[in-house]
Amino acid sequence: MKTIQFREAIAEAMSEEMRRDESIFLIGEEVAEYNGAYKASKGMLDEFGPKRVIDSPIAELGFAGIAIGSTMAGNRPIVEYMTFNFSLVGIDQIINNAAKIRQMSGGQFNCPIVFRGPTGSAGQLGATHSQSFENWYANTPGLKVIVPSNPYDAKGLLKAAIRDDDPVIFMESEQMYGDKGEVPEGEYILPIGVADVKRKGTDVTIVSFGKIIKEAFKAADVLEKEGISVEIIDLRTVRPLDLDTIYESVKKTNRLVVVEEAWPLASVSAEITFQVQQNVFDYLDAPILRLTTADTPAPYSPVLLEEWLINDKDIIKAVKKTMNLV
């Protein structure tokens, strides 16, 4: 095993796949000359050249359409958005073309493409740069949606996404690019649609994904000292959802808290809550609780931003509430 940063795991996954398959190319704003806005494509222009690592204009609709069209000519593009907030400019191409090519062509064309970049809040970036759209894309049949939380998962899942024959939304976090973690020296691939039990426990299940799951680990450490055993499930993929792993955990712990960095209405946590109540309701000893960001645009003030986001103290309080301790 070696210890590398999250951004290095992303770069390794892309570079290894591009060495393996010449039909893969990377396109996006500042991915080439600048080595990526967050240095997640560092060195790739030097290795693969400007025909396969392409700096695009500031025109998300345009370069998304070019990349999607190229899949019908046999290519397997990776599209980097500087932030998924900017993907809204190109969302028509993603929703109405990439997600529907296979069906609307009667299976004559598939669309092997990855759209990747940062999601969620990254500090004081204002309301238009601090949004989570995982549930938007997960609501679309034809798309797969991946949100890794650490370098190991990021590399293994990105390689799987690049090899997938359908469009994949791969959502990272600006605040995780410097995170370090162990990654195998050799090649490995993680399956899409399989959640991971990151921490075993017996008293309550916490389900989360992406960078906000780190708050769950902080909470679990505090709760363990108080004699409360927490099981943490990292979804890794929000479409398709690995509900079976959640069901099995709830059958054991009988309590569930879902933590998500997104607005509450029609969220991933709302879907999980519904599915658990429909399928393993009899195992629940307390109502399901879910934690989301506040139902407002993200504030700029650091004081308000801290209140807007979920933190470990919020999770501790929710866990104790499910156990009738508060």
Residue 16 annotated as catalytic? no
Query: Please, what is the end-to-end C-alpha distance for the chain in angstroms?
Result: 43
Chain centroid to CA 59: how far?
23
The encoded tokens of residue 125 equal: 């970036």
Q: Which of 17, 60, 80, 260 is catalytic?
A: 60
| Residue 272 host element (H or E) | helix 268-279
Contact 19, 53 (CB under 8 A): no
Contacts of 299 (CB under 8 A, 6+ apart): 127, 305, 308
Distance CA(38)–CA(226), nearest Å, equals 39
Per DSSP bridges, beta strands 256-259 and 204-208 are parallel
Q: What is d(CA 290, CA 258) in angstroms, rounded to the nearest whole number?
A: 4
Of residues 75, 21, 71, 18, the one with CA closest to residue 46: 18
Q: Catalytic residue at 60?
A: yes
Report the alpha-carbon distance of residue 131 to residue 82 in Å, rounded.
Answer: 13
CB 144 within 8 A of CB 164: yes
- Extract the tokens encoding 164: 């997938």
The residue from 17, 129, 231, 260 that is catalytic is 129
User: Which residue numbers are catalytic?
Assistant: 60, 129
